[in-house]
Each structure stands twice: as structure tokens, then as C-alpha cells.
Structure 1
Amino acid sequence: MGRLIVWIGCIAAGIGLYFWIAEGVERQNVRDCLEQSSRQYGIGNQHHVYLTDVIQVEVHRSYGDGTATRFAKYQLQGSSEIQSTTCRW
């Protein structure tokens, strides 16, 4: 019985670690997208610097090279307003 509890605990920890890493990768992808928009088009107002939370990322269209156009919703430090952008990664 003790082994079963340890085994279940390890599986739960592994799943939690997977989602924690995936969230970090998604957050970095949105941050990179905002930084690129800021450099290329002068838009974004340094949002990549003040990004605190990625609320939602939805795939709009997938491409054959493995990238996709995504709609991202995010929040900035000191604001409760939800921002949005379109990115491709």
C-alpha cells in the first residue's frame, strides 16, 4: 500500500512539473512575441518588460512548418486590464 501511495505521488509531481514547465514556455513565447512587435513596429509599449500573467493562448491557424498563428491574452504589472495580441511561433 505504501508503494502505491509513493507511486501516485511521483506521478502527480511529474504531471505538475510538466504543466509548470509548459506554462513557462508559453509565457516566454508571448514575451518574445511582444518584444519582437515592439522592436519591429514600435507597438507594444514595452509590454514584454511588464508582462506578469498569460491568461489564454488559442491557436488560430496552424502551418506545415510546425508554427501557428496564436491569439494571446495577457496582463501587465499594475493593471487589471486584459491585453491581447496575435503572434506566430
Structure 2
Amino acid sequence: MPLPCQIESGLQKLIRKPLPPPPQNQKFNLPSVYQEAYSHQKFLIYDKRKTIYGGRLMIFASEEQLNVPYHLDVLFAEGTSKASPKLFD
């Protein structure tokens, strides 16, 4: 019987298999499948290359996600930059 960490590693490899390899630099074209949400709404709302950002700034959000903060009294946020690929921190 495989260990739980071996099962998890195998599942992660299986999930990543159909994905394209991570880009090697910031000059890549984002496939249209990653620019829309499942509901075919625009998901990539900002994509610019500027030196003041340190390279390239991409912002992903749906219209619904952009409206959520306006209806809240308190908003908690957390960054997970350690989990992001090298070019995306």
C-alpha cells in the first residue's frame, strides 16, 4: 500500500499533466482558456508589462468578485506568494 504522501504526489502529477509547462520569462502569451471564467465572463482584467511593476502585472477576477468588497464591513486577505510559480510572486 502506498504512503499518503506518495498518493498525493501522484495525484498532483496527474492533475498537472494536461497543463502547459510554466513560462520561462514574462514575455508569454496567455491562452484564451485562462482569460475567461467557466461562465465565459472575462477573468483576466489587467495585463501590462511595465518596469515600475518589476516586469509584468496580471490581475485575475470575475465581475462578481470585484463587487464583493463593496458589500462588506470587514475584509480579511491573505497572500500565498510562496505557493506561486517563480515568475508569479
* TM-score calculated relative to the size of structure 2: 0.28
Bigger share in strand:
1
* TM-score calculated relative to the size of structure 1: 0.28
Bigger share in helix:
1
